[in-house]
Amino acid sequence: MARPLRIVVAKAGLDGHDRGAKVIARALRDAGMEVIYTGLFQTPEQIVQTAIQEDADGIGLSILSGAHMTLFPLVLEQLKAQGAEDVVFFGGGTIPPEDADELRKLGVKAVFTPGAPLQEIIDFVESECGKRRELVG
Amino acid sequence: MIDRPETGAKASQAYLRTGPGSGAVDRTLSDVPLKTVYGPEDVTHLNPPPGEYPYTRGIHKNGYRDRLWTMRQFAGFGNAKQTNERYHFLLSQGQMGLSVAFDMPTLMGYDSDAPQARGEVGKCGVAIDSLLDMEQLFDGIDMGAITTSMTINGPAAIAVAQYVAAAEKKGISRKQLGGTIQADILKEYIAQKEWIFPPRPHMRVIVDMIEFCTTEMPKWNTISISGYHIREAGSTAAQELAFTLADGFAYVEAAMKRGLDVDSFAPRLSYFFNSHIDFFEEIAKFRAARRIYAKRMRERYGAKNPKSWQLRFHTQTAGCSATAQQPENNIVRVAFEAMAAVLGGTQSLHTNSMDEVLALPTEKSVEIALRTQQVLAYETNVTNVVDPLGGSYFVEALTDEMERQAEAYFEQIEEYGGCIEAIEAGFFQKEIAEASYRYQRSIESKDRIIVGVNYFQKEEPQLDIDLLRITEEVAREQSRSLAELRSRRDAARVQATLDRLERACRDEGDNVMPHLIDCVNAYCTEGEIVDAMVKVFGRYTERSAF
């Protein structure tokens, strides 16, 4: 049987709102995935390093402080710089719709905003990270 | 029979169970089981009238007839100049006190040009790097006449020092200053996560501040012990009540251990609660809080001044109850939550704006939120009778239940050895994470209905609300101004005051407050002051679990 998907759930910058990140971490784990929660105040460099070291299939980044337009692109940049662009990068938080559109254009695979059903997030991660796993093996 | 339109979702099991016409589940938001009807058998005792110990029914005998609650809208964004303009607007619209929201770097003790501040400057509050910014923030505002609440915890003592220095430069004595500093570090470890030092040295700085304010700033409220963030992090009402009061008792014990007389500082402690959407449960929570507090202050800590027994509190409506879907509905939620706070006897109130779930609120939505309070205060007539729900079989029973649950938590906390030990063991954090996951699951399963989110959804066009956006220009401007400040201030004085501060941190017998005021007056930046303290105290890191 295939080993479970591995997902890094991350908090970046100075944002201490960790309710959402913890709920998502728990929901993904209950859905059978292996979840690595980074804890608070990680830099984009650290987050991508963690994903590489943990051989993660995906990174979910949670930001509720308004710094999303800075920190999401920095993580994308690090994924590129460290040759890890195959890792599925998604996120969520207090993100206005126009910003979410912009982030998707930049390469964030999905942006979940308040009220997004957990099942939708689980389905997304299973499908997208599953595809990545098939490609990378 | 009421028809329930089903838009986008299948009828939920909960709905089928409870039958048509009722969206009700048979328990409160915090899972307290509810009966259909309450009667005399549910009430064990009658409470003394308002204004009498243990103040279940309120701390003032005439309630809002003598004095309305203070309408205090939390605001801060961008730089000090922008926020100062919003303050002038709010004061001109009838707001009675100011409430400062700081940005993340300020809250975490970093200057705007620190690498950690990338992308965060001015975003969820105002950037305050030095006394210069504090002076700008209160430009044209009579600091001796208004009261100011400052929501800051890790660097709270520094913010108080800046406020004192800014006022004294205008010729206003520190003795005249009225307001509140949040300074509740324990709930940072429990819920909000904006800390700097580890718990024990942080507690020392807070007790230094209490000691200083008790003699130097008699009108200043020294700590606003906060359940708000505990609730926002996902706790139940009973957890909010219990953990907040437990924190409050921890501060009381720490100050008494320093040798302060409980009646010298307790009257200046205040509380800050959340008002969530479960109307009666919230009212019961506020009533229970007053009763538990009064009893404990008098019986356990031996306070003799009735002011020390009286729990005064600020309330904010629940940010976590707001929805991004159909955001105008949040206006209605806020109105109910605000009414619960008023029926619960709050001393001051912040009503959230409908768009805060998306971004910082616009001037329009802030105005609606303030008007909501004004309608409540001047039109609904709920202010005329004190504790109008007192004697309600249901509300009295629920008040008792809240107290019972809180007492059970106090016992658990004591088994750990106290609040700090329970924090170190991750007890609170785990309890809250469990509760918030349970809550989220109940929404997923549609056991709980959130209008517009898991029921009554509609396809929405892109939202037509103008959002307030903070550009990176604020960060660039703050950095420029910091560079200029560093080049023109007296460098020797900066170093000397920082050195003295560091020595005071090493000396448990000294009080850091006068040294902080010296640093601030020398135009040391917040980041420099924090670095000097971190050399002695270290920085806290959390063991994270989910």
> For A113, which residue in chain B has the nearest alpha carbon?
B324
Residues of A in contact with B437 (CB under 8 A): 22-23, 26-27
- Chain B within 8 Å of A122 (Cβ-Cβ)? no
Ordered structural domains, chain B, with CATH: 40-444 (3.20.20.240)
> For A115, which residue in chain B has the nearest alpha carbon?
B453
What is the C-alpha separation between A24 and A29, in angstroms, rounded? 8
- Chain A within 8 Å of B329 (Cβ-Cβ)? no
**What is the arithmetic mean of pLDDT over B282-300?**
98
Find the radius of gyration of the CA atoms of chain A: 13
- Chain A within 8 Å of B256 (Cβ-Cβ)? no
Contact between chains at A16 and B192 (C-beta distance less than 8 A):
yes
Contact between chains at B118 and A13 (C-beta distance less than 8 A):
yes
Confidence tier at A72 by pLDDT (50, 70, 90) = very high
Q: What pLDDT, on the 0 to 100 scale, is given for residue B23?
A: 55
- Chain A interface test: which of B110, B192, B193, B445 (most A C-beta within 10 Å): B193
Residues of B in contact with A117 (CB under 8 A): 444, 454
Residues of A in contact with B462 (CB under 8 A): 97-98
What is the C-alpha separation between B331 and B335, in angstroms, rounded? 6
Contact between chains at A67 and B123 (C-beta distance less than 8 A):
yes
Q: What pLDDT, on the 0 to 100 scale, is given for residue B472?
A: 87
Amino acid at A25: A
pTM > 0.80: yes
Model confidence over B70-129: pLDDT tens digits?
Answer: 988 788 889 999 999 989 988 998 887 899 999 999 999 999 999 989 889 998 899 999
What is the C-alpha separation between B76 and B78, in angstroms, rounded? 7
Residues of B in contact with A39 (CB under 8 A): 542, 544
Q: What pLDDT, on the 0 to 100 scale, is given for residue A1?
A: 53
- Chain B within 8 Å of A115 (Cβ-Cβ)? yes
Which residue of B124, B323, B440 is in closest CB contact with A66?
Answer: B124
Average pLDDT across chain A, whole number: 94
What is the C-alpha separation between B264 and B89, in angstroms, rounded? 37
Task: List, edge to edge, every strand of the sheet that includes B70-71.
Answer: B70-71, B348-350, B313-317, B269-275, B223-226
The fourth-level CATH superfamily of domain A6-136 is Cobalamin-binding domain (3.40.50.280)
Domain boundaries, chain A: 6-136
Beta carbons of B32 and B358 less than 8 angstroms apart? no
Put simply, the chain B residues between 433 and 462 with a CB less than 8 A from any chain A CB are 433, 436-437, 440-441, 444, 450, 453-454, 462
Confidence tier at B463 by pLDDT (50, 70, 90) = low
Model confidence over A86-120: pLDDT tens digits?
Answer: 999 999 999 988 999 999 999 999 999 988 999 99
**What is the arithmetic mean of pLDDT over B1-12?**
38
* Three state DSSP letters for B322-378: CCCCCCCHHHHHHHHHHHHHHHCCCCEEECCCCCCCCCECCHHHHHHHHHHHHHHHH
> For B453, which residue in chain A has the nearest alpha carbon?
A115
**What is the arithmetic mean of pLDDT over B277-302?**
98
pLDDT over 90, % of chain B: 82
- Chain A within 8 Å of B465 (Cβ-Cβ)? no
Bridge partner list, B269 = B223
User: How many secondary structure helices (H) and strands (E) does chain A include?
Assistant: 5, 5
CA distances from B304 to B76, B210, B264 (A): 39, 19, 10
Residues of A in contact with B104 (CB under 8 A): 13-15, 65, 67
Q: What pLDDT, on the 0 to 100 scale, is given for residue B22?
A: 52
**What is the arithmetic mean of pLDDT over B47-72?**
96
Contact between chains at A113 and B323 (C-beta distance less than 8 A):
no
